[in-house]
Structure 1
Amino acid sequence: MPSIVEFRAYRVAMHRGRRPESALVALTAEDGTVGWGESALLDEETWADLAQRLGPALPGLEWDRPEDLGGLGALGGPRATAAVEIAAWDLWGRVHKVPVAHALGGTRTSVVTGARIPCQPHLDNLPSLVNRYIGGGHTRVTLEVRPGWDVEALRTVRQAYPALALQVDGACSYTDSPDDLEALESLDAYDLVAIERPFRDLAPHAVLQRSVRAAVAPDIGDLDALDAAITMDAGRALSLRVSRLGGLTTARGAHDRAYAAGWDVWCGGSGVFGIGRAASVALASMPGCTLPSDITEFAGGPEYLTPPLRSHGGVIAVPLTQPGLGHEIDVPRITRLATDELRITTG
C-alpha cells in the first residue's frame, strides 16, 4: 500500500458559519489517489484531535490495510478517529479497485432505510411528519423521546398509523428511577421494534429488557461495552454508529459480535456532506444488518457526492461497481464552505 503523503482536514458547515458542521478528512497516497472521510463535528476537541494529534501522525505512515491503523484510537477521540479511518478505507479501496462494502464483507446490493423524527413542540405536527416519510418509502420511523415527551407522542403516531414499524430513541435521557422505568415499560404497549439508548449505564438496560417485548438497544461506544451488554442480556439490538465507535473497523467488529449473539443490527449515518453516510451504507450491506438503517439525506440539503446518495422508495443502492466508497467528492464546493483547513505533508 502506498504511504500517505498528505493529510488534509476541513471544518465545514453546510451554510457558512452555521451548524451543523462536519470534519472532513482527505488522505493522499504517493500515486495521487485520495480517500475521504467525514464525521459530525460536535465539539472543539474533535478538531483539536485532527490538528494536533492524528494529522501529524499520518504523513509517511506505512500500512497495508485499514485495520493496521488501529493504534490511531489512542491519539484522538472516536469522532476524529472515525473521520480518518473512513478516509483510509476509501483510499485503500480506490488503490486496490475494491468497493469498501465488499472489503468489509457486505453481501447486500441495497439497504432499506428508516427515518428519525426529533422531539416536536406540538403533538399535532407528528402525524404529518410521519406521513412525509412514509410517502418517501421509509418502512420504519424512529421517534426521539424524552421524559415527559414519550407516551403521548407515541400514542399519537400509533393511532394514526397502526401498522407502521416504530422505534423510539431516548438519547440516554432516562434514569433508573421507578417513574422513568414505568414510562419506558408503558411504551411497550405500542408494538415497538426497539427502544434505543434509554439510559447511560448498562445495568438498567438489562432490567428494562427483562420487562419489555421490544428489543432494547444500549448506547455502545466500544467492543468491551458490547461484550458486557451481551453477557448481561442488556439488550437485543445494536445501532452501529461509525463515529461513536471510532471507525469502520471497530463497527465491523461490533456487527460481527452482535450478529453472532443473535441481536438485530442497524446503522446510523454521521455528517451532512454524504461521506459519512456513504460509509454507513457500506457497513449496512453486511449480513447482520437486519433492520432499516438511518441513512436518509439531510433534510433540504444539497448533494456533494456523485452519484448522489439518495433514498428512492426507502431503499439506497450499495455501490458495488465503483472502488472505495463509490462516490466522487465535489471538492471545490466543500473548500468554499470550509471555515478552517489543515494541510500536513511529508515534505
Structure 2
Amino acid sequence: MKIKEVILRHMKLDLLHPFTTSFGTEYDREFILVEAISDDGISGWAESVAMLDPLYNEETVKTNWHILEDYLIPIVLKNEISHPDEISEKLFAHIRGNYMAKAAIEGAIWDLYAKQQNQSLSDALGGTKKEIEVGVSIGIQDSIDATLEVISARLEEGYKRFKLKIKPGWDVELIDKVRKVYPGIPLMADANSAYTLQDMDSLVALDDYQLMMIEQPLAYNDIIDHAELQAKLKTPVCLDESIHSLDDARKAIKLRSCKIINIKIGRVGGLTQSRKIHDLCKLHGIPLWCGGMLESGIGRAHNIAITSLPNFTLPGDTAASALYWAEDIIEPEVTVENGMIQVPNKPGIGYEPNMKNINKYTISTKIYKENL
C-alpha cells in the first residue's frame, strides 16, 4: 500500500446538550478528521479524539496537528505499508507518546487497508460479533432529579448500561437515590481521576450499591494507589486514563490494580495496540469495554469495529449519533435498537462520509503529498 495523499480537516460540531465531567463542561467538539488516500484512489477515514485543552491527557487538537504534520504524515507518505500493524510497531516506534495523533493516522490506514482487502474493519481486526451491546454515559447534571430524567429517557431507548459521572460531593447521595428509583439497572460510576486515597470512605461507601465498576477513581497516571484501593473494594475498579499501552495493561494486571479495563483507541495509540491489549486481557480474564470521547460518526465506526472482538464483554459508550449531534458526518448515522448496534459488514468502517456535512463543519483543511 502506498499513501499518496493525506488530508487533515479541523472540524467543529456543536453538542446537542452540554456534557459535564469532573474536569469541566464541553459545549462543542473540535477535532481533526484524517483522510488517507492510496495510489489506487481509495480513501480511509479516522479522527483524532484529542480535546482542545489538555484536561483528559496532555494531547490537544493543536499538538496533534503539529505531530501529524511535522512527523507522522511525512513518515507515512515516504514508506510502503504492507499491513497497518507496521505503523505502530515499526514506523512510529521511535516517536514517544502522542498516542492520539498516532491513532488518528493509523486508523485511517486501517480503514483503507480493509477496503483494499474488501473486508469490513471488524473482520480485518478479527472481530467475531455481528452486533454489540451499548451503554450510555451521563454527564454531571444540574440536579439528581435531572439525572433521573435522563436515565428514564435512555431506558426507554433501550440502553444496556448507565454510566454516571461522579466527583467528590456528587457521588454517594447521587448513586443512593438512583438505586432507590432504579434498583435493577446495570449501573457504574466514572470519576475521571477526581479522588485520592484520602477519599477512601466515600469510595468504599459505593460498595453498597451493586455497581458494575468504578472507573478511574484515582490519578490519571497511577496504578499503585489503585491496587491499594482495589484491595479494599468489593466493587471492581476499571482503569481508563492509566492505561496508555500494552505495558501499562500488563503492569496493572500484575499489580491487581483493577478488575476491568476500558480501551479507548486514541488513548492507547490505535487499533493495533488496542487489539494487543485485548489479547492480553483475554489471556488473564480481564473483561474489556470500549470508552467514548464524544466522537463523530467516523470515530464511532472505529469503536464499533474494535468492540466486535470477543473479549469486549461489557457494554461500551458508543451511543447513537442522535444523542449528541443534530446531524452527523456519516451516512447512515449510528443508530441503536434495543441497546444494540449492528456491526457493519461493508468494506472498511462500513459508513460513508457525508461530504456535504463534512464541508459544512470544516474550519480549515490542509493537504499533504509526498515531496511537497
Are the aligned partners of 2:328 and 2:357 in contact in 1 as well (CA < 8 Å)?
no
Distance across 2 between alignment mates of 1:135 and 1:37: 31
State the SS of the aligned residue for 1:238.
Answer: strand
The percent of aligned pairs where both chains have the same amino acid is 32
Distance across 1 between alignment mates of 2:294 and 2:115: 22
One-letter amino acid of the counterpart of residue 79, structure 2: L
Distance 1:335 1:103, change over 3 A: same
Q: Deviations over 1:142-172 (max 9, x none)?
A: 0011111110111111111000011111101
Are the aligned partners of 2:10 and 2:363 in contact in 1 as well (CA < 8 Å)?
yes
Q: Deviations over 1:96-122 (max 9, x none)?
A: 101111111111000000011111221
Are the aligned partners of 2:197 and 2:229 in contact in 1 as well (CA < 8 Å)?
no
Distance across 1 between alignment mates of 2:197 and 2:341: 38
Is 2:96 the counterpart of 1:72? no
Matches within 5 A, 1:211-226: 211-219=232-240, 220-226=243-249
Matches within 5 A, 1:13-32: 13-15=12-14, 19-32=28-41
Distance across 2 between alignment mates of 1:335 and 1:167: 38
Give the C-alpha shift of residue 57 in structure 1.
Answer: 2.3
Instruction: Tell me the equivalent position of 1:341.
Output: 365
Give the C-alpha shift of residue 206 in structure 1.
Answer: 1.1
Matches within 5 A, 1:222-233: 222-233=245-256
Aligned residues: 342
Give the C-alpha shift of residue 15 in structure 1.
Answer: 4.2
Distance across 1 between alignment mates of 2:286 and 2:179: 25
TM-score (norm. length: structure 2): 0.88
Q: Deviations over 1:76-95 (max 9, x none)?
A: 61111111111011000001
Residue from 352, 355, 359 that aligns with 1:331: 355
Distance across 2 between alignment mates of 1:245 and 1:157: 32
Give the C-alpha shift of residue 335 in structure 1.
Answer: 2.4
Instruction: Tell me the equivalent position of 1:316.
Output: 341
Are the aligned partners of 1:27 and 1:34 in contact in 2 as well (CA < 8 Å)?
yes
Are the aligned partners of 1:81 and 1:247 in contact in 2 as well (CA < 8 Å)?
yes
Distance 1:284 1:316, change over 3 A: same
Give the C-alpha shift of residue 333 in structure 1.
Answer: 2.0
Are the aligned partners of 2:74 and 2:370 in contact in 1 as well (CA < 8 Å)?
no
State the SS of the aligned residue for 2:288.
Answer: strand
TM-score (norm. length: structure 1): 0.95
Give the C-alpha shift of residue 217 in structure 1.
Answer: 0.9
Distance 1:75 1:60, change over 3 A: farther
Instruction: Tell me the equivalent position of 1:297.
Output: 320
Instruction: Tell me the equivalent position of 1:62.
Output: 80
Residue from 162, 165, 174 that aligns with 2:186: 165
Are the aligned partners of 1:165 and 1:193 in contact in 2 as well (CA < 8 Å)?
yes
Is 2:68 the counterpart of 1:50? yes
Distance 1:258 1:328, change over 3 A: same
Gaps of 5+ in 1: none
Is 2:49 the counterpart of 1:40? yes
Matches within 5 A, 1:137-148: 137-148=158-169
Is 2:186 the counterpart of 1:187? no
State the SS of the aligned residue for 1:323.
Answer: coil
Distance across 1 between alignment mates of 2:42 and 2:101: 21
Q: Deviations over 1:175-205 (max 9, x none)?
A: 122xx11111111110011111111211121
Distance across 2 between alignment mates of 1:337 and 1:274: 13
Give the C-alpha shift of residue 213 in structure 1.
Answer: 2.1
Instruction: Tell me the equivalent position of 1:196.
Output: 215
Following TM superposition, the consecutive aligned residue runs of length 4 or more in structure 1 with deviations greater than 3 angstroms are 269-272
Give the C-alpha shift of residue 312 in structure 1.
Answer: 1.4
Distance across 2 between alignment mates of 1:338 and 1:303: 13
Q: Deviations over 1:295-325 (max 9, x none)?
A: 01353411221232111121000012x1111
Residue from 273, 290, 306 that aligns with 1:267: 290
State the SS of the aligned residue for 1:92.
Answer: helix
Distance across 1 between alignment mates of 2:167 and 2:121: 36
Q: Which moved more, 1:127-136 or 1:44-53?
A: 44-53
Give the C-alpha shift of residue 75 in structure 1.
Answer: 6.6
Q: Which moved more, 1:278-287 or 1:291-300?
A: 291-300
Gaps of 5+ in 2: 16-26, 52-59
Is 2:331 the counterpart of 1:306? yes
Give the C-alpha shift of residue 53 in structure 1.
Answer: 1.9
Distance across 2 between alignment mates of 1:315 and 1:249: 25
Matches within 5 A, 1:85-96: 85-96=106-117
Distance across 1 between alignment mates of 2:92 and 2:294: 21
The Cα RMSD (Å) is 1.6
Distance across 1 between alignment mates of 2:194 and 2:112: 38
One-letter amino acid of the counterpart of residue 119, structure 1: I
Are the aligned partners of 1:10 and 1:335 in contact in 2 as well (CA < 8 Å)?
no
Give the C-alpha shift of residue 222 in structure 1.
Answer: 1.0
Q: Deviations over 1:255-289 (max 9, x none)?
A: 11111111111012335321111111011011101
Are the aligned partners of 1:281 and 1:295 in contact in 2 as well (CA < 8 Å)?
yes
